[in-house]
Amino acid sequence: MDQEVNSAPKVSEGASSAPTEKRDLVPIQQGRNLQTVPLATKRVSRRWLKVALALAAVIGGAGGGAYWWLHLPPQLPPGIAFGNGRIEAQEIDIDTKFAGRISEILADAGDMVKTGQVVARMDTRDLSASLKKSQAAVSQAQKAIDEAEANVVQQTSLVLLGQQEFDRASTLLQKGAQTKEVVDQRRETLDAANAALKAAQDRVVESQHAMEASTHDVELNEVNIADNTLVAPTEGRIQYRISNIGEVLPSGGKVFTMLDINYVYMDVYLPTNAAGKVKIGSDARIVLDAIPKLAIPAKVSFVATQAQFTPKTVETQSERDTLMFRIRAKIDPERLRVHADKVRSGLPGETYLLLDPATAWPARLQGSAPP
């Protein structure tokens, strides 16, 4: 009994009773031992958690407000709309016309090429052999024509001789110095000579037709050989080199993809209330994110006649609209030709469209600076 009394926990004076002490202690199990932690510590931790959450909310709200402020749409006067997009240049594929092997590559990705510049050549040994065969056929046809024309000359002489003999025999027959049998023989000889002359003349025409066919074969082979020399169809920049020397490509095999620097544009999407005011040929300005202080003059070249659902890449003031109209603003080709080395594709930016011709462009969109 004494041991049980001594082993009981001692309570100092002024302290709470045992039940109160049990309420102030929270058991926490760590491994196999039980410990006690004051409940006040847990209450303090909860209080700091609430303070931290409040601070996070304030900081987050400030950050969101800063993001919203930085991404405010530019202040524009009425009569001007804008949309986001990427500047694009028309892509042109340089393909093979016939199946064959690449023998030469004369350009690479990033090169500027001129109209008609040779960028690759295909193996044309088979076409060259066909060309020689056609040229030999032309020579043979020419000889056949010469032979037929000589035969015509010969047959013409025989006809003339036959006509003279027939006329002489007819005259002698009238004088009684020649028999009718001889006259008939002369007539048959003349008819045979005329038939032979007609055949010779037909032979000349046939030889000429053969000559024309052989000549067309030569021209066809020359065109095919020329088409196996791949040239740039317009002025621009090589964007991709897809094939290499020695590769065998099918008909229509792609060798290069180039950008036509004379056709550079940006497509943007506008809601109905703005797209309905855009006219083809109206002024526009393109501002790239990479050159925010430069406004590139452009013209509206296309306005979609049918609305479509908003693409994922569209960010406008009217994102709630479910249908948008595609508008294309095209940069002047002469301006592009002067600054061909600065043309880029894929750069994001904005296009500003003049909805009201009476509206003046803001100073930052005057477009006076060269690109």
- Residue-wise over 249-281: b if at least 16 C-beta within 10 A, else e? beeebebbbbbbbbbbbbbbbbbeebbeebeee
Confidence band for 301, pLDDT divided at 50, 70 and 90:
very high
Better-scored residue on pLDDT, 27 or 297: 297
- Contact between 300 and 328 under an 8 Å Cβ cutoff? The reply is yes
Span 278-282, average pLDDT: 92
Question: Is residue 64's pLDDT more than 70?
Answer: no
pLDDT in tens, 188-204: 888 888 888 888 889 89
pLDDT in tens, 317-329: 555 456 788 999 9
pLDDT in tens, 97-135: 999 999 999 999 989 999 999 999 999 999 999 999 999
Query: For residue 84, what are the CA distances in angstroms to 65, 90, 290, 291, 328?
Result: 22, 19, 14, 15, 11
Q: pTM for this one?
A: 0.61
Please state, in angstroms and rounded to a whole number, the distance separating the CA atoms of residues 100 and 10: 103
Whole-number pLDDT of residue 13? 44
Residues in the chain: 371
Better-scored residue on pLDDT, 176 or 63: 176
Question: Is residue 355's pLDDT more than 80?
Answer: yes
DSSP 8: S
Q: Which domains, ranges and CATH numbers included, belong to the chain?
A: 2-67 (no CATH), 74-91+259-365 (2.40.30.170), 92-121+229-254 (2.40.50.100), 125-227 (1.20.120)
Poorest-pLDDT segment among 137-141, 165-169, 225-229, 307-311: 307-311
Better-scored residue on pLDDT, 100 or 308: 100
